[in-house]
Copies of this chain bind each other. A is one copy, B any other.
Amino acid sequence: MEYEQPQAATILNAKIDEEVESLHDGILSKLRDFIVEGHLRPGDRVPERQLCESLGVSRTPLREALKVLAAEGLIELLPNRGARIREFTPDDVREFFEMLAGMESTAGRLACERITEAAIEQIEALHYQMYGHYMRRELPEYFRLNQLIHERIVAAAGNHALETYYHGLTARMRRLRYSANTIKRDRWGQAMREHEQILDALRRRDGRELAEILYEHLIHKWSATSEALGTAEAE
């Protein structure tokens, strides 16, 4: 057992008694963030006792949090053998992206029915801002606005259940995402063109077409990402 947990301890110990937030929820968020940020490697065993000391709480609330995280699919709980950080197979990643594509597609369809003109204009503004970053090849800013636009569309769908699940998905994928903070030149151009189409369909409130474009857009993104990840994770 020589995996570095001390790091975990220091970062996790940040602040525990900040709110009246029931200890359990605090642990849950902290652990979730911690896993999502990628500080625990997939396949790592996570002894309860060790986590307890890191977090400064007893095992009861910790175990409750672990059960929830397992239900969310972030960790897996083997009977009598404790928790492991869940390992994502390429198939898992494919499934996540397909789900994401489906979610955003559905969100787009709904957004066309419900989005306000003001919200469309805001997304337009974000789009042109993103276009600027694209022209100046400012990758991080481009990614940020890109994600923001997608989030705005999802929010405009007016479906809280969808939004919640969407954010859960993106959280689970964040660990993968940061590995792929790169984009091929030609893919970048194509992504921009797709975004133009997205905006166009949204302006026309053409739900079917927006659903279609968003689905394809996300599947393309997956192809690009999995390509980049395929080499990055085969270390």
CB 8 Å contact bits of A93-134 with B (1 = contact, 0 = none)? 001101101110111011000000000000000000000000
- Bound CA span A217–B191, Å: 31
Number of copies: 2
Q: Which residues of B contact A178 (CB under 8 A)?
A: none
A33 within 8 A of B: no
Q: Which residues of B contact A211 (CB under 8 A)?
A: 211, 215
- Bound CA span A107–B92, Å: 16
- Bound CA span A65–B165, Å: 20
Residue of B nearest to A66 (CB): B64
A63 within 8 A of B: yes
A106: contacting residue among B22, B63, B65, B105, CB under 8 A: B105
Please give the residue numbers on chain A whose beta carbons come within 8 Å of chain B beta carbons, in ascending order. 3, 6-7, 9-11, 20, 22, 24, 60, 63-65, 67-68, 70-73, 75-80, 84, 86, 92, 95-96, 98-99, 101-103, 105-107, 109-110, 159-162, 165, 208, 211-212, 215
Residue of B nearest to A73 (CB): B7
- Bound CA span A101–B102, Å: 10
**Most chain B beta carbons < 10 A, residue from A22, A99, A102, A110:** A102
- Bound CA span A70–B86, Å: 22
Q: Is the CB of A162 within 8 A of B10?
A: no
The A contact surface, by secondary structure, is helix
Q: Which residues of B contact A160 (CB under 8 A)?
A: 95
- Bound CA span A24–B79, Å: 10
- Bound CA span A98–B103, Å: 10
CB distance from A166 to the nearest CB of B (A): 10
Give 17 pairs: A residue, B residue, CB < 8 Å, sorted on A: A9-B70, A9-B76, A20-B79, A24-B67, A67-B68, A68-B68, A68-B70, A71-B72, A92-B161, A95-B159, A95-B161, A96-B161, A99-B159, A99-B165, A102-B162, A109-B215, A211-B215
- Bound CA span A71–B106, Å: 23
- Bound CA span A212–B161, Å: 21
Q: Which residues of B contact A84 (CB under 8 A)?
A: 3
- Bound CA span A161–B169, Å: 10
CB distance from A32 to the nearest CB of B (A): 11
